[in-house]
């Protein structure tokens, strides 16, 4: 049976050079980076080299990069400390953010009684920037938390526009950039965002490691207490091999970005063309079917399949060796509709199956053809 992996927005295949780099570190650099002897200093040097590499790609200071266990921890660190330590009393977000943000905000409402405003969405899931500007005109200490690229429908936020609005209104700006770091170049000197987050496994690195960018002099404080690792913002013995894996993956992503982006864009366009020609009643959710207004890494397709038959679609695709998802992998155990699609689709379309297909350099047009054959068979 053919095996096709089209769930790269959930996680990606690790590059061979990343595996090699991590293996070498595990074999030879096993010292605790907090130890003062040569074994410890060797590990510490690797971490600081990785920190400088990451900072260089974002055009920021190395001291502004804090390594974490991934995007969720980084989001929690920023949001919780902003409320607890920076005395933020008002958070502006959207109802289509990742649950790492939405559930954290829900908890902050319970713990600190903060006010939350949800920016209006256009029917295609696009942020209403004029409404955001209206929400920003208040007297409260405000944090805006809006993701750069939506992980389910691929919509792209205008980071610079939102950052400028926040600055003009004395608000802090946090963006979950888990789906964009490693896929797009980002100059944070040009974009005055205060905080961003990333996870290595989204750009062909290892799971269990990510980072937060925290602009200097932000006055954030740790969530995890213990040692003084990560500038005192994230206690715990550093996972040196994972951090080096993140660095290696990010370096490869930038080294090969031009050719790999072109390859994946061509693959996505091919997928769109196939859907339009072979499944003419299918529609694309959000802006995912528009190459100019969505990320090049994914599409989200609403398929014209009756509800009773639709309930078995993912199961049938899995039986055919096809990996994809109905939404975020974090919701895979839930029978509920995607919270993102619930916000933007009408009642009729919510009864139809919507599937996210996400691409990488390891995918091929032959795999797209195979998926289309299976979808056509199931749709008949």
Place of tokens 């790269």: 8
DSSP result, 263-317: HHHHHHHHHHHHHHHH-TT-EE-TTTT-TTTB-TTEEEEE----HHHHTTHHHHH
- Residue 145 parent element (H or E): strand 142-145
Q: Please, what's the b/e burial string for 48-59 (b: 16 or more CB within 10 A of its CB; e: otherwise)?
A: eebbebbbebbe
Q: Please, what's the b/e burial string for 261-293 (b: 16 or more CB within 10 A of its CB; e: otherwise)?
A: bebbeebbeebbebbeeebeebbbbbbbbeeee
Question: How far apart, in whole angstroms, are the C-alpha atoms of residue 21 and residue 39?
Answer: 18
Question: How far apart, in whole angstroms, are the C-alpha atoms of residue 94 and residue 115?
Answer: 13
330: annotated active-site residue: yes
Q: Please, what's the b/e burial string for 12-21 (b: 16 or more CB within 10 A of its CB; e: otherwise)?
A: bebbeebeeb
Of 166, 302, 324, 330, the active-site residue reads: 330
Q: Is 226 helix (H, G, I), strand (E, B) or coil?
A: coil
Catalytic residues: 330
């Amino acid at each position: 049976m053919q095996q096709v992996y089209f769930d790269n927005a959930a996680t990606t295949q690790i590059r061979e050079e990343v595996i090699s780099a991590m293996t070498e570190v595990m074999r030879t650099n096993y010292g605790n980076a907090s130890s003062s002897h040569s074994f410890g200093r060797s590990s510490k040097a690797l971490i600081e080299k990785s920190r400088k590499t990451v900072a260089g790609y974002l055009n920021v200071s190395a001291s502004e990069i804090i390594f974490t266990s991934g995007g969720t921890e980084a989001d929690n660190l920023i949001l919780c400390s902003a409320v607890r330590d920076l005395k933020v009393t008002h958070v502006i977000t959207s109802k289509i953010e990742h649950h790492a943000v939405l559930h954290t905000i829900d908890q902050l409402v319970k713990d600190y009684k903060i006010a939350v405003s949800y920016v209006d969405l256009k029917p295609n899931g696009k942020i209403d920037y004029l409404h955001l500007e209206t929400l920003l005109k208040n007297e409260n200490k405000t944090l805006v938390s809006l993701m750069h690229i939506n992980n389910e429908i691929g919509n792209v936020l205008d980071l610079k526009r939102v950052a400028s609005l926040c600055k003009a209104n004395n608000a802090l700006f946090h963006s979950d950039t888990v789906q964009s770091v490693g896929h797009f170049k980002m100059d944070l000197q040009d974009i005055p965002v205060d905080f961003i987050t990333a996870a290595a496994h989204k750009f062909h690195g290892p799971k269990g490691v990510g980072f937060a960018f925290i602009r200097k002099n932000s006055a954030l404080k740790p969530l995890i207490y213990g040692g003084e690792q990560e500038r005192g913002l994230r206690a715990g013995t550093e996972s040196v091999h994972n951090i080096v894996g993140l660095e290696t993956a990010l370096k490869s992503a930038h080294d090969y970005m031009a050719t790999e982006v072109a390859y994946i864009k061509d693959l996505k366009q091919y997928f769109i063309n196939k859907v339009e020609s072979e499944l003419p009643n299918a529609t694309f959710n959000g802006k995912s079917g528009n190459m100019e207004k969505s990320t090049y890494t994914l599409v989200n397709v609403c398929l014209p399949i009756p509800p009773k038959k639709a309930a078995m679609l993912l199961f049938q695709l899995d039986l055919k060796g096809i990996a994809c998802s109905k939404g975020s992998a974090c919701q895979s155990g839930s029978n509920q509709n995607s919270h993102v699609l619930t916000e933007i689709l009408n009642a009729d379309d919510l009864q139809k199956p919507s599937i996210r297909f996400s691409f990488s350099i390891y995918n091929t047009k032959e795999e797209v053809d195979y998926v289309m054959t299976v979808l056509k068979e199931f749709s008949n």
